[in-house]
Amino acid sequence: MILICNSLATQSFKQCFSPASTIVGNRLTRTLVLNLYPNPLIKFIPSDNMCQVLDGKLSTAFILLNSPANGNLQLPPTNPGISFTYKFNKNITISYAFPDLASYDQTLDATFGGYNLLLDNDIQVTGSVADVFHTRSNQTSCFSSVRFTYSLPDNWYAFEVQPVFCSVSAFSVFFEYQIGGVWKRVPVLPIEPTNPFIKMNDYSAGNTAFLGVKRYVLDSASATESAKYSAAQKAAVLAMMNAFMADSTVQMRLSLDYLVQTVTASITAVAEYTFSDNALKCHDTMVTRSGVNENGLIYKTGFMTVMPCLEIPATDPRYAFAQAVKQNTASVFTKVLIKNGSTVYQYNLTTNLVEFSQIPIVMYTIPQQDTRTLIDSEAAANLKIQFFAEFLDSTGKRVFDLNTAPIDLTRTCVDKRILHIRDRSNEVVAWIKNTVPRCKAKAVVNATMRYMAIIFEDGRYKVNELYQLVNLNDYALPIIPIVHNCSHSQLDKATCESVRENNMKVGVRSNVKYYMESASEFSELHFVVFDTSRGVWAATYIIFGVTGAFLVGVVVFLFIQKNRE
């Protein structure tokens, strides 16, 4: 124990803590936390202050509250108090756990609070806090999963949840959406048994128990036409629907309000992701892979499944709108969201229905800064990507939505790829490997590689997979020789040779795109060089074999120069 003789010691120590300190309660965990913040003006306090003297000393604390219903409360009620270590000029967290929920609930109406400290078990310091509040419950505590779903043109919206045990009885339901950083609330009433969208375990007139509800539904017609909703509530519902129609990626969360004595508590759950739901289920087979490379974002999907999906015979009344979607669609607005923790990247692309339905690859051009961050960052692990497609009519109104659940994003380890095509048998691929730590350990692919050409002919896209190579193991090599005689092609020999010869024509080359794919790589080639010379490229390969990656930059320069010519 340090003896402090100064009679002003207690007064001096009161200057150590900020008046903005808080007391925060959490009913789910039955805890109350005193957050003691250091005085932001500590450096301006005269040098005779004692704040630094007791740094690191074991001390005790009592949390003080004033409750209108229960009077003055001290926590814990008796000695020895809450043990903590005093730290000079640092945040100090002091936590008290209540023995039961009834004891915690006595503090819910408290609006004034403070603390009584015994620093080094010798110097007594008292003070007040700026705020006393109780945190909202969170998704982790009350739900194991939450997703927001919607359907066009049915025009219903829902939260699908998996509830876990929470001390909740009667509650009110709100859908909340974020616009410009502000959360707006929309009331949601139990749906009636006559509602056409009702399912088992829906929040309804006959099912209002928290653990029994797996879906909370807001149906446009019921909400805007029902006499149960006031004019103000109907306006709020329409505002949310309009906001969502303008942007299907708007952030959504579910909020349940309930009373604890005289205080309103809330369970707030942010949707893990938004998912379009419709009877066609087109999205079930859409996505195969997606990846990002140094050129931009490549999103590979099963787009070819979309047209058959929309061509379901209209004799089935459930799918009667399929033909209407095709007839009314003037353009398709697609976008992707990539989530890296709390950081979200969004990129957009507008196309037409033919392109959307027939091209198996979509390239989104993204800023170089974003590209390098997504590819190089060691912290950018477990990236998730989600795809959205909005079918728009000639006025820009959405007539149909299609999206996927979030999937893992593949990041390339190749910084450059260049393909040299000859009219005969041999091709050469040059590549430069990324040197970031996560790529250095990646030495072998051992997977199938593919090249595809996409040619725009007579208003339609024609996809030709020229050939595929198996067991490409030497991923570490800077240059790879490829022998092509159409025996590796998915096409028959005659068709393959015809396609390849056609792609060599000068008038066609501008419409040809080549892509390379493996288990861990999927990218458009940076440069595709067409020529009929053989000796120069045979010599180039020999040079690469001798000098390896040292001359990659030189050959890349030659590729670029030749491509420009």
- Lowest mean pLDDT across 146-155, 205-214, 288-297, 310-319: 310-319
- Is 137-275 in the same CATH topology as 9-134? yes
Architecture of domain 9-134 in this structure: Sandwich (2.60)
Concatenated DSSP letters for 26-72?
ETTTTEEEEEEPBPTTGGGS-TT--TTTTTT-EEEEEEEEEETTTEE
Helix H or strand E encompassing 308: helix 306-310
Q: Is the pLDDT of residue 546 over 50?
A: no
Q: What is the pLDDT of residues 358-369, one digit of tens each?
A: 666 667 778 888
Q: What is the CATH number of domain 281-410?
A: 2.60.40
Confidence of residue 555 (pLDDT cuts 50, 70, 90): very low
Q: What is the pLDDT of residue 204?
A: 93
Whether 286 contacts 302, CB under 8 Å:
yes
- For the chain, what is the mean pLDDT? 75
Confidence of residue 457 (pLDDT cuts 50, 70, 90): low
Q: What is the pLDDT of residue 470?
A: 46
* Rounded Cα distance, 457 and 182, in Å: 48
Architecture of domain 137-275 in this structure: Sandwich (2.60)
Whether 292 contacts 375, CB under 8 Å:
yes
Q: What is the pLDDT of residues 462-486, one digit of tens each?
A: 555 555 554 444 555 555 555 556 7
Q: Is the pLDDT of residue 64 over 90?
A: yes
C-alpha dihedral (333, 217, 175, 228), degrees to nearest 10: 120
* Rounded Cα distance, 446 and 449, in Å: 9
Confidence of residue 5 (pLDDT cuts 50, 70, 90): very low
Structural domain boundaries in the chain: 9-134, 137-275, 281-410, 414-564
Residue 341 gets the label, from left (phi > 0), alpha (psi -120 to 50) or beta, of: left
Q: Is the pLDDT of residue 108 over 80?
A: yes
More confident residue, 196 or 304: 196
Q: Is the pLDDT of residue 388 over 50?
A: yes
Confidence of residue 30 (pLDDT cuts 50, 70, 90): confident
Confidence of residue 443 (pLDDT cuts 50, 70, 90): low
Proportion of the chain in helix, strand, coil states, percent, rounded to 5: 25, 40, 35
Q: What is the pLDDT of residue 548?
A: 41
Confidence of residue 527 (pLDDT cuts 50, 70, 90): low
* Rounded Cα distance, 4 and 144, in Å: 53
What's the whole-number mean pLDDT along residues 429-446? 66
Q: Is the pLDDT of residue 506 over 80?
A: no
